Amino acid sequence: MPYSLTFPLDPDEADPLPPYPGRALHALFYQWLAVGDYSLSTKVHDSEGPRPFTTSPLHRVNGQPTIRFTLLDDELWPALSQGLSKTPTIEVLNRPLTLPADGPRIAHSSYTELSDGRTDRRIQLRFLSPTSFRSHGMHYPLPDPVLVYQSWLTHWNTFAPEELRINVALLDIVAAHVAVGRYDLRTRLVDLGTNWKVVGFIGGVQFNVLRARKIGDEWLRRLNLLADYAAFCGTGHKTAHGMGQTRRR
């Protein structure tokens, strides 16, 4: 089942960090996994396809600096949990950080629970960190509905149980029936480290499902469940480095 792990940090320790320590947090995830099960960490690192986790930028919740990880493959949870329990302090970009003594705030939902999707015809999203897609060898910083849903669908079909996987015909439904209704977006340049810079979009988008009666409630539920899943899987390119953090409003 997908997990969300939120770590409030000590402001004095975290304030010197850059807002996008994505590569360092990416490495930290593998460090935790290796402490719990080194061979599993190596296997996950060397595998192709979408990463089974995301990281967030450094952001503030009620004024407190916070980082967030999500986990998409619950087979990794025992090793990750063990690694977390053995590392009460960590280093991010050579800065020591003290983790909460009672562990991270954990939220999780099973793939079965997520599959009980709503039938909303307006899907409102907020892209919390710069979001971009790889298209024709370039970064594409626009919320094209097909690219957005293709990103979510790829993650879902990679990590959800086989019996819950969704037919890729959903993308034809998106192309024919999902339109951008409104948006409030701006682009932002994010430095992922070692002069690796990417332009992405942040802000709010509303997708409208047109002629919903024609596609039926079953497809409508699938459109909605993937929008709910976005909070765990992120959207687009480099979600394991802090990009594409997404929340459904």
> What tokens appear for 11 in the block?
């402001």
Beta strand residue intervals within the chain, DSSP E: 3-8, 53-55, 59-61, 64-71, 89-92, 95-98, 105-108, 122-131, 133-135, 138-140, 178-191, 197-209, 246-248
Its CATH class, for the domain covering 111-248, is alpha beta
Strand spans (E) along 31-88: 53-55, 59-61, 64-71
Residue 194: per-residue pLDDT: 67
Domain boundaries, the chain: 3-108, 111-248
Architecture of domain 3-108: 2-Layer Sandwich (3.30)
Domains 3-108 and 111-248 belong to one CATH topology? yes
Output the pLDDT for position 99. Answer: 87
Q: Per-residue pLDDT tens, the chain, 249 aa: give them.
A: 799 999 999 898 888 888 888 889 999 999 999 999 999 999 999 998 899 999 999 888 888 899 999 999 988 999 999 999 988 888 888 888 888 888 889 998 889 888 887 899 999 999 999 999 987 778 899 999 999 999 999 999 999 999 999 999 999 999 999 999 999 999 999 887 767 788 999 999 999 999 999 999 999 999 999 999 999 999 999 999 999 999 998
pLDDT of residue 88: 85
Alpha-carbon separation of residue 116 from 79, 84, 153, 221, 234 (angstroms) = 29, 31, 16, 7, 20
Whole-number CA gyration radius for the chain: 18
What is the value of pTM for the model shown?
0.92
Predicted pLDDT at 101: 84
